[in-house]
Structure 1
Amino acid sequence: MRCPFCGHEDSQVKDSRPTEDGVAIRRRRQCEGCAARFTTFERIQLRDLFVLKSESRREPFDRDKLLRSISIAARKRPVEAIRLEKLVSGIQRQLETTGESEVSSKRIGEMVMDGLKVLDSVAYIRFASVYRDFSEARDFEAFAGTVEEVAKG
């Protein structure tokens, strides 16, 4: 593993343990060149996934991009970061176990909305406003009305 501080090619693992959600291994490393310490995370990847965008573009699945978009929707909401991590890990695992190497962005968006609906209704509406491209205040109003019905039912 290349040192992020000095670029030296060799480092020594000082400590390894699973992350709290159990989907990755956290490794504490020490550079053999400058003795700086840094942390790396190792995740299991079952297969390479590609996302089919609405403009017929195809791009590699980016877990961090998905986490960022969900985190933006949940910003300043009482949702713990570990719950967002678990949501992303669950979505990624579902996608990897389907046996398909390509998945539509629409399908991923629906999976995110299903997960956010359970976690936080405001984050759910925020994500939906971008995902469903709300353009007017009445779009929010109509969608928020459906969220209240779900919460009551």
Structure 2
Amino acid sequence: MKCPYCGFAQDRVVDSRESKEADSIRRRRECERCNKRFTTYERIDEIPYMVVKKDGRREKFERQKVLSGLLHACEKRPISASKMESLVDEAETFVIDSPERERTTTELGELLMNKLKALDTVAYIRFASVYRDFKDVREFKEELEQLLSGKEQGKKNKSAS
């Protein structure tokens, strides 16, 4: 907390107490440089983190929705629950780190697909088929061909080394 008098960033809390409405905490602070006292109020951050859907609607970010999608994609695959939890944590951090407190579902989907692609290609394809909403078998086949050609390039590069 910056001192409002001298701008110094170090202070100490002299007194803390709950407000009368119990919705915030009042703190008396003392600047460690100029020794002047000032009051701050802390309250719970009530603005939710949001995701912007493809059609422009905004929804509250829900960890459980992300986890549910990953559970479906990773069903019967050798991916541990802790790894899926880690992916959800990364997605949540991605939203929280946004300066606007929101991210598009496109950005979130791409992040998760990239992580899944490195983890398990079957889970990646399952997730991509729902996320990208393939209109027909041709689109699905194109995605598979890109995935396979990328793997073949990786094998060629490794054998050339």
Identify the residue that residue 58 of structure 2 maps to in structure 1: 58
- Residue 113 of structure 1 deviates from its aligned partner by 0.6
Paired with 1:61 and 1:127, the residues of 2 have a C-alpha distance of 18
Equivalent pairs: percent with the same residue?
39
- The 5 Å alignment of 1:1-153 reads 48-152=48-152, 153=154
- Residue 68 of structure 1 deviates from its aligned partner by 0.3
- Residue 114 of structure 1 deviates from its aligned partner by 0.9
Q: Deviations over 1:8-38 (max 9, x none)?
A: xxxxxxxxxxxxxxxxxxxxxxxxxxxxxxx
Q: Deviations over 1:128-147 (max 9, x none)?
A: 11111112222221111111
Identify the residue that residue 25 of structure 1 maps to in structure 2: none
Q: TM-score, normalization: structure 2? A: 0.62
- Residue 123 of structure 1 deviates from its aligned partner by 0.7
Higher relative contact order (CA 8 A, sep 6+): 1
> 2:113 touches 2:124 (CA, 8 Å); kept in 1?
yes
Tell me which moved more, 129-138 or 79-88. 129-138
In structure 1, list runs of 5 or more residues that go unmatched.
1-44
- Residue 109 of structure 1 deviates from its aligned partner by 0.8
Query: Which structure: larger Rg?
Result: 2
Paired with 1:98 and 1:150, the residues of 2 have a C-alpha distance of 31
Alignment partner of 1:59: what SS?
Answer: strand
- Residue 48 of structure 1 deviates from its aligned partner by 2.7
Paired with 1:100 and 1:149, the residues of 2 have a C-alpha distance of 37
Paired with 2:70 and 2:128, the residues of 1 have a C-alpha distance of 11
> 2:96 touches 2:102 (CA, 8 Å); kept in 1?
no
Aligned residues: 108
Paired with 2:138 and 2:55, the residues of 1 have a C-alpha distance of 27
Residue identity in the other structure for 2:126: R
Q: TM-score, normalization: structure 1? A: 0.65
Runs of 4+ residues deviating >3 angstroms: none
